[in-house]
Chain A
Amino acid sequence: DQQVKQNSPSLSVQEGRISILNCDYTNSMFDYFLWYKKYPAEGPTFLISISSIKDKNEDGRFTVFLNKSAKHLSLHIVPSQPGDSAVYFCAASDTGSTLGRLYFGRGTQLTVWP
């Protein structure tokens, strides 16, 4: 049973506009969330994380929002660039910021077109 779900397998956005990637989770014990980006034939690359004690974390063009009551998080990329085209994975952990097992969503393929 998938505890982390990314219901949109793909997203297409024009360069310069905002990309919003969504993620839902079912396990209320999850207390730390991460986003990874993956290019073909490479491993996932860490992007940004958020603890359950926060509702927003920002790093440059990337912002993650967490809505605990809805068990929902989203990644905003502003402005989107063609180099952002990749598969984005949402991941969750129940060990806080202590590195432990990560539960991954299936990923969303983001395509940013010029």
Chain B
Amino acid sequence: DARVTQTPRHKVTEMGQEVTMRCQPILGHNTVFWYRQTMMQGLELLAYFRNRAPLDDSGMPKDRFSAEMPDATLATLKIQPSEPRDSAVYFCASGLVRGAAFFGQGTRLTVV
């Protein structure tokens, strides 16, 4: 059963701490996205990669967020330092060059 796997599912952290979210895309998928869902903004794109190269990270606050793909089976999203306004559900999605994106179950982040 091919699916996108995200860890952790839930994360509660204190303001100022570093947060790392991980994503294992579906095997063979070469396009990986990070989306964030908030009540205010809905689902918004943070960054995406094709063949591990970043294509668009315009939605990401550059001063505190970073996204990487160390290899084809792992994508990471890091926030340092975290702030209460970063509280949201973070989704990873993957796909092929054509077609739809398939989403993971998300990481619910709470920054207190």
Closest approach, in angstroms, between the C-beta of B48 and any C-beta of chain A?
Answer: 7
Number of interface residues of A (CB under 8 A): 21
Cβ < 8 Å to B, chain A residues 32-78:
34, 36, 41-46, 49
Taking a contact as CB atoms closer than 8 A, the residue among B33, B42, B45 that contacts A105 in the complex is B42
Known: A97-B98, A97-B99, A99-B97. A43 touches B42 (CB 8 A): no
A89 adjacent to B43 (CB under 8 Å): yes
Taking a contact as CB atoms closer than 8 A, the residue among A45, A98, A100, A101 that contacts B103 in the complex is A45
Q: How far is the CA of A105 from the CA of B42 in the complex (A)?
A: 7
Q: How far is the CA of A2 from the CA of B42 in the complex (A)?
A: 10
Q: Is B31 an interface residue (CB 8 A)?
A: yes
Q: Which residues of A contact B93 (CB under 8 A)?
A: 43
Q: Which residues of A contact B25 (CB under 8 A)?
A: none
Closest approach, in angstroms, between the C-beta of A74 and any C-beta of chain B?
Answer: 19
Return the 4 tightest CB-CB contacts between A and B, nearest first: A43-B103, A104-B43, A46-B100, A99-B95
Interface residues of B (CB under 8 A from A): 4, 31, 33, 42-45, 48, 55-56, 91, 93, 95-106
CB-defined A-B contacts under 8 Å, sample of 7: A43-B105, A44-B103, A98-B98, A99-B97, A100-B55, A101-B45, A101-B56
